[in-house]
Amino acid sequence: MKFGADEAVAWLIAFQGKVSENKTYLTELDQAIGDGDHGINLARGVKELANVFEASSFESASDVLKAASMTFISKVGGASGPLYGSAFLKMSMKWKEVDKDITMSELASILQEGEESIKARGKADVGEKTMLDVWHPVVQACSESDDADHFLQVAKEAMEGTKEIRATKGRAAYLGDRSIGHIDAGAMSSYYLFEALNETIKEKVV
Amino acid sequence: MKFGADEAVAWLIAFQGKVSENKTYLTELDQAIGDGDHGINLARGVKELANVFEASSFESASDVLKAASMTFISKVGGASGPLYGSAFLKMSMKWKEVDKDITMSELASILQEGEESIKARGKADVGEKTMLDVWHPVVQACSESDDADHFLQVAKEAMEGTKEIRATKGRAAYLGDRSIGHIDAGAMSSYYLFEALNETIKEKVV
Amino acid sequence: MKKILNDIDQLVEDMLNGMVAAHPNELKRVPNTTVLTRKKSPESGKVGLVSGGGSGHEPAHAGFIGDGMLDAAVAGEVFTSPTPDQVLEGIKAADTGKGVLLIIKNYTGDVMNFEMAAELAEAEGINVKSVIVNDDVAVEDSSFTTGRRGIAGTVLVHKIAGAAAMRGAELEEVKLVAEKVIKQVKSMGVSLSPCTVPASGKPGYSLGDNEMEIGTGIHGEPGIERTSIMTAQEIASTLFEKINHDLDLASGDRVSLLVNGLGATPLMELYILNNSLSALLKEKQIIVVDTIIGEWMTSLEMSGASITLLKVDDELEDLLLEKADTVAFKRGV
Amino acid sequence: MKKILNDIDQLVEDMLNGMVAAHPNELKRVPNTTVLTRKKSPESGKVGLVSGGGSGHEPAHAGFIGDGMLDAAVAGEVFTSPTPDQVLEGIKAADTGKGVLLIIKNYTGDVMNFEMAAELAEAEGINVKSVIVNDDVAVEDSSFTTGRRGIAGTVLVHKIAGAAAMRGAELEEVKLVAEKVIKQVKSMGVSLSPCTVPASGKPGYSLGDNEMEIGTGIHGEPGIERTSIMTAQEIASTLFEKINHDLDLASGDRVSLLVNGLGATPLMELYILNNSLSALLKEKQIIVVDTIIGEWMTSLEMSGASITLLKVDDELEDLLLEKADTVAFKRGV
Ligand SMILES: Nc1ncnc2c1ncn2[C@@H]1O[C@H](COP(=O)(O)OP(=O)(O)O)[C@@H](O)[C@H]1O
Ligand SMILES: Nc1ncnc2c1ncn2[C@@H]1O[C@H](COP(=O)(O)OP(=O)(O)O)[C@@H](O)[C@H]1O
Ligand SMILES: [Mg+2]
Ligand SMILES: [Mg+2]
Ligand SMILES: [Mg+2]
Ligand SMILES: [Mg+2]
């Protein structure tokens, strides 16, 4: 599938739309078991990202992701800023190795770079009720099937599945058992990211 | 009428009862147009007064009023403490001049000393929406009629009449026109004082 | 009402003990009174400064005891003037033979109780003078004889009179400089939510979800107007206009600024308010020689803030910038 | 939500400008950043101290800039860690060639952002070390790997590390003494009512009319238990027990005390709490060498308080009592 600069921008603009639209919801999720700023933080980041996209043009998807990385790192703050920032930085580097035309399994390997870097930066693993609990199964799903709806379905279930997890990382961890029963805010925003990816692939990518 | 130490104590104990019972009401009145402590302040004073009466015995009404004065001055604080304290001090001095057996018009002259000293201490006059608006007509009433119910009736009307006055003294003065429509807290407590006096005269005084 | 306390009747007692426990080298209690005084009395020959009033305004007043400000502070019950016998004890504790200045805020109760105390002290041979602070410009009515309330500007009276006393001025001089400050210091506040006197258990007034009150006193006395919530900029200019109506500042005039939180307002908001205010002053070319910002004259957990402007000349500026070392206010030490 | 502000998006900007306007001789901004630093940089040859974090904790952290404490503070959005590029600017502003110590509170976001900044600074040739404060004993769970939060105890880390740096210690020494403090400093708080992050507009949690929460974090993170409102005495002993479970103080041990208001709690109540606490310590024959009381690490307008105990030895006591002259905290100046 063709996935160059335009598609990458489309992906992140779609992400921006979802985050802005659901800013309050994300914040509410974070309020329930965190400190209630995830929607605010991320919305500030993606808004700036839209400005960056407006002002510059890009050669490749890799360049787009690199710009996104810088914006996340310098505009989001909190835990999610460095996490998304690191993930996009590493994905940008990996994307350089592939062509404009990528396969779903190449996409999987790119996303895996993101997952790994979140793990490293956050010193976290799957099952701790963080965004990783969405990233990890999505990477798996992309390597299993070429159907973009497959990873979306997986992402959705994984996001909802964070409800059942007892947090051991992030602010929600302070709640112990009381963190159970709430969707993790970062898992939700990551779901939006993959939902945006699914839509981009289906609408734009040939 | 016989009005010695016992009667004076009975008067002030009756006052104590009324103030304690209506502590919240007095405070609410003060809250509406003042700072909401009149009931608290005065209840603290009369409670201490009851202790003083318990611990000591007195020769004359004058002695009782002197003790009351000291207690008001040292236990009440705020505006009402020095006002009641000064009033009782001057009344105590005047009472020395009369006998155990006093006439209503002698009582009027004693209360007038109280009124004068409130005026002097508070640099206030009748018509400024303070306790003076009860004291002044009561003094008048006592000099007009030997019937204790007469001054009580006058006190009641005067107390209720403070509702219509625009305050120019005390904290209520800060409200200007907005002070209209509320009974003055000190007028209310003074009404209790004269109600207690009426009851003492009718029940105890022969 | 939710408060951290033990026995409502012992509130002032517990607070005073807690203060002495926290500042054992600076403060001591005068036994069986509500007076706090310096741990080490100043050398004799210094005019004593005594302030006080109802409790609930902390750090005022005991927090200002120390070098360059007060020698003793007398605490009343919450929002209730202390009684004359207590004030008398404060005067005695502060007197080193050179006389005592009483700094009184203009409330009927305070004035009466402090003046009675002054009479008692005079009778005991202590030279006592007093000044009455009335900086709150919210109150203004010709038919109104009680006069203006004393609020946060009192802190600057403490500071400047305290500096003069520390430098060895005589009682009359200290009184004169205090009166000079009082003439030039004007304040006004806004409240966004009320406070609750512990013994009453209920808020002193109520404000709607989107309402604020302009000109509220530090005991919750009503202000001059209720409006919907304003921006920091609007608050700064509203308060400044009212203050400047009295001060009549011209370009090039020098002022000292006090931005005071009433209890529950975050310091962040005070700084934002100061940002708007200082921009406004800059525009008018009024020179700010000093800014004191924080909680100095509070009203329990009221939320809101007051602004105080003191127009200074060389003398006042010099005394204002003099060092001070008290429990709550320290400068250039 | 009622707050004194202008533009919610400009909140931090306006606050920083308001701070510099209020303290023009002490603070300056690093242009186009959210970094505040000393007006006059310290002589070269002093280890630089940088702290920071989300805004809303004022006077933390910029209020502690000055002699004997911090050299720069980096402000994030309200309750949100500042980003690595901003922290890097703070590091650069504080570096005089002798290296920089980062004082980080243990939150995932803060740790990641500050550590990324340290990596960037190292890449630019600046010697950077960091310490992570985790004094909040409310958090305790073996299955829990994030570790404890950093709260008010951070102020004592600033104070003591700052004193060591002022005296000329090398970066490694400053780091070691900071770590010694971190090992011995334990805190815990209670909240009586929540605060509202301006951008969200709604309180972070809710508490019933008669409820309080034990162990709430300074961003409103849930604590360990909700109870009905306790007396000051009960609060003091509950917090002390939990703190002492870690510190294990014995009769004759010396501690330094920090009684910290979370924003809306009147100073009166902090003193009452201190009265109960100091009585309890006296009973256990634990010696209080110093008490710092007031609002130092706040949570916007949250009401409640935290207690911090630092077990001191001669070295820590000596550094603690060293003089300091910052915007918010002054000692022995
Ligand atoms: N150590 C970690 N590893 C991976 N993800 C994490 C970690 N800590 C937090 N997160 C994610 O970050 C989200 C919170 O982001 P945000 O609210 O922006 O930051 P903060 O917690 O600093 O306020 C959480 O919901 C979680 O998904
Ligand atoms: N100048 C004055 N002259 C006479 N009475 C006054 C004066 N000022 C106040 N009062 C009376 O005192 C009452 C208030 O007493 P209190 O609430 O105890 O004192 P404070 O106003 O100091 O809180 C008022 O209701 C009024 O009747
Ligand atoms: Mg968050
Ligand atoms: Mg009153
Ligand atoms: Mg009162
Ligand atoms: Mg956050």
| pLDDT digits 0-9 by tens, A80-105 | 999 999 999 999 999 999 878 899 99
Per-residue pLDDT band for C146 (boundaries 50, 70, 90) equals confident
pLDDT tens, position by position, D269-297: 999 999 999 999 999 999 999 999 999 99
Give the orientation angle of helix C314-321 with respect to helix C153-166, to 10 degrees.
90
Interface test with C, best of D8, D79, D271, D321 (most C CBs within 10 A): D271
**A122–D113 C-beta distance less than 8 A:** no
Please count the other Cβ atoms lying within 10 Å of the Cβ belonging to residue C96: 16
β strands within chain C, DSSP E:
27-29, 35-38, 48-55, 66-67, 72-78, 100-105, 128-133, 185-193, 211-214, 225-228, 254-261, 287-294, 303-311, 324-326, 330-331
Lowest mean pLDDT among A13-27, B30-44, C241-255: B30-44
Contacts of C202 in chain B (CB under 8 A): 31, 36
Chain D (89-148) residues lying within 8 Å, Cβ to Cβ, of chain A: 107-109, 112-113, 116, 138-139, 141, 143-146
In this complex, the chains that touch D, judged by 3 or more CB pairs closer than 8 A, are: A, C
Q: Which ligand is nearest to the CA of D79?
A: 6
CA angle C318, C322, C325 (to 5 degrees): 160
Q: What is the mean pLDDT of residues D79-98?
A: 96
Tell me, yes or no, if the pTM score tops 0.90.
yes
Least confident window among C177-191, C286-300, D201-215, D235-249: D201-215
- B167 lies in which domain range? 5-203
pLDDT surpassing 90 at residue C310? yes
**Identity at B104, one-letter amino acid code:** M
In the CATH scheme, what architecture does the domain D13-183 have? 3-Layer(aba) Sandwich (3.40)
- Note the pLDDT of residue D333: 66
Q: Give ranges for CATH 3.40.50.10440 in chain C.
A: 13-183
Total structural domains within chain B: 1
**Topology of the domain covering D185-331:** Hypothetical Protein Tm841; Chain: A;domain 3 (3.30.1180)
| pLDDT > 90 in chain C, percent | 90
Contact by Cβ (8 Å): C56, C218: no
pLDDT bracket for residue C142 (50, 70, 90): very low
The C-alpha of B121 sits at a distance from chain C's nearest C-alpha, in angstroms, of: 7
Evaluate if residue C204 carries a pLDDT over 90. no
Mean pLDDT of B68-80: 94
CA distance C14 to chain D (A): 5
Sequential DSSP letters for C161-230: HHHHHHTT--HHHHHHHHHHHHHHEEEEEEEEE--B-TTT-SBSS---TTEEEES--TT----SEEEEPP
Confidence of residue D144 (pLDDT cuts 50, 70, 90): low
Best of B131, B134, B188 for a ligand 2 pocket test (most atoms within 8 Å of beta carbon): B131
How much is the average pLDDT of A125-131?
96
Query: What's the pLDDT at C144?
Result: 54
Of ligand 2's listed atoms, the one at least distance from the Cα of C109 is: 22
DSSP C309: E
Summarize the confidence of residues C84-111 as an average pLDDT.
96
Q: What is the mean pLDDT of residues A194-198?
A: 98
> pLDDT per residue over C48-68, tens digit each?
999 999 999 999 999 999 999
B near C: at least 3 beta-carbon pairs less than 8 Å apart:
yes
Does D158 qualify as catalytic in the annotation?
A: no
Q: Mark yes or no for CB contact D141/A80 under 8 Å.
A: no
pLDDT tens for D109-128 read 999 999 999 999 998 999 99
Amino acid at D169: A
The mean pLDDT of C197-221, rounded to a whole number, is: 91
The CATH 3.30.1180.20 domain(s) of chain D lie at 185-331
What are the structure tokens assigned to D316, written together? Answer: 């820590």
- Tens digit of each residue's pLDDT (9 = 90 or more) over B98-153: 878 899 999 999 999 999 999 999 999 999 999 999 999 999 999 999 999 999 99
Segment C17-33, tens digit of pLDDT: 999 999 999 999 999 99
Distance from CA of C22 to the nearest CA of D (A): 5
Ligand 2 close to Cβ of residue B165 (< 6 A): no
Percent of chain D with pLDDT over 70: 98
Task: Using pLDDT thresholds of 50, 70 and 90, give the confidence band for residue B167.
Answer: very high
CATH of the domain at A45: 1.25.40.340
pLDDT score of D142: 47
